[in-house]
Amino acid sequence: MKILLVDPPIGQIVDSMPYKEGPAFAIGLLSIDSYLEKHGYYEIELENYFGCGWEDIKARLRQSNPDIIGLSCTTDSRGFCWRLARLAKEIRPDVKIVLGNVHATFFPRQMIEHHPIDFCVLSEGEETMLELVRAIESRRTDYSDILGVAWRDPVTGEIKVNGQRPLTLTKYPLTANVVFLLTWKASDKPI
Ligand code: B12
């Protein structure tokens, strides 16, 4: 399973943003990356497409050819997420698009109803994303037993919002990848 985790480059979209050099990669996505790796998923790419135009993004998506794309979706970055999802499905119609983070948590139905999004992960994402990746890998069509997921039923087209996953909060301290990447980023370009 090849997984692409995308932190949207919202600094380019909102001119008033102070992150002209690109913000440090989203901590939430790094945590998901570490957790998936810890459970045997090593083919994970991290991207923020900072400084890229849509043609570049298209070329990079083609080259990367992921089975699953996970996007960190805040309210500011939702437009980027929709556009990237559309583009990714044009390139590869069977790619699975997963949105996480605050906007996906609060507006999962709208995200899935109006855009080519297959899943929203609500609230904390580590365990939910792992279960989801495993389910996608085994080509399931029923995801109703995965807590913390909203999904479009691939058979009926119906949008379903599963029950909440209990919060774990401090159960997952930031793992090695997160600490490494933050240290590297800090020494490179302080934000
Ligand atoms: C730290 C932080 C920042 C840091 C980010 C540092 C970094 N490198 O990540 C900085 C200062 C750069 C920042 C900037 C901004 N931030 Co900020 N930030 C936060 C804060 C306080 C904590 C986020 C965090 O790291 N949590 C810890 C991690 C582990 O949790 P998490 O991010 O929630 O991720 C978990 C889940 O959400 C989920 N998840 C997240 N992404 C994904 C993706 C997938 C695929 C999956 C499956 C799951 C998943 O799983 C993760 C692990 O459990 C939140 C408030 C909050 N309490 O959440 C605001 C918050 C996210 N920020 C917010 C805003 C508005 C911004 C800015 C737009 C502000 C600005 N105008 O400049 C910018 C945007 C920058 C960008 N590129 O997106 C808002 C978003 C509101 C909204 N409706 O979208 C929040 C909610 C604060 C608020 N209440 O207003 N921010």
More confident residue, 172 or 82: 82
DSSP code, position 14: S
| Residue 89 to residue 110: CA distance in whole angstroms | 18
- Of 32, 110, 164, the one to substitute when testing ligand 1's pocket (max ligand atoms within 8 A of C-beta) is 32
- Of 3, 21, 27, the one to substitute when testing ligand 1's pocket (max ligand atoms within 8 A of C-beta) is 27
pLDDT of residue 188 exceeding 80: no
pLDDT of residue 187 exceeding 80: no
pLDDT of residue 24 exceeding 90: no
Exposure on the CB side of residue 65, measured as CA atoms within 13 A: 2
Query: Hey, what CATH topology would domain 3-188 get?
Result: Rossmann fold (3.40.50)
Extract the tokens encoding 84: 């990237």
pLDDT of residue 169 exceeding 80: no
| Residue 27 to residue 50: CA distance in whole angstroms | 17
**If you take atom 40 of ligand 1, which residue's CA is the nearest one?**
101
| Residue 92 to residue 191: CA distance in whole angstroms | 35
| Residue 12 to residue 169: CA distance in whole angstroms | 32
Residues 6+ apart with CB under 8 A from 105: 120, 121, 122, 123
- Rounded to two decimals, the pTM is 0.90
pLDDT of residue 19 exceeding 90: no
More confident residue, 30 or 137: 137
Q: Return the ligand 1 atom nearest residue 185 CA.
A: 8
The answer, yes or no, to whether any atom of ligand 1 lies below 6 A from the CB of 112, is no
Residue 21 — very low, low, confident or very high, per pLDDT cuts 50/70/90?
A: low
Least confident stretch, 135-139, 149-153, 185-189: 185-189
User: What is the percentage of the chain residues whose pLDDT exceeds 70?
Assistant: 80
State the sign of the Cα–Cα–Cα–Cα dihedral 40, 185, 4, 114: positive
| Residue 168 to residue 137: CA distance in whole angstroms | 25
Cβ-in-10-Å burial (0-12, 13-18, 19+) of 63 comes to exposed
| pLDDT tens column, 57-106 | 999 999 999 999 999 999 989 999 999 999 999 999 999 999 999 999 99
pLDDT of residue 47 exceeding 80: yes
Average pLDDT, the chain: 86
Is residue 179 helix, strand or coil? helix
Query: What are the residue ranges spanned by the domains of the chain?
Result: 3-188
**If you take atom 37 of ligand 1, which residue's CA is the nearest one?**
101
CA 165-169-170 angle, to 5 degrees, is: 140
Contact status, residue 36 vs residue 13, Cβ threshold 8 Å: no
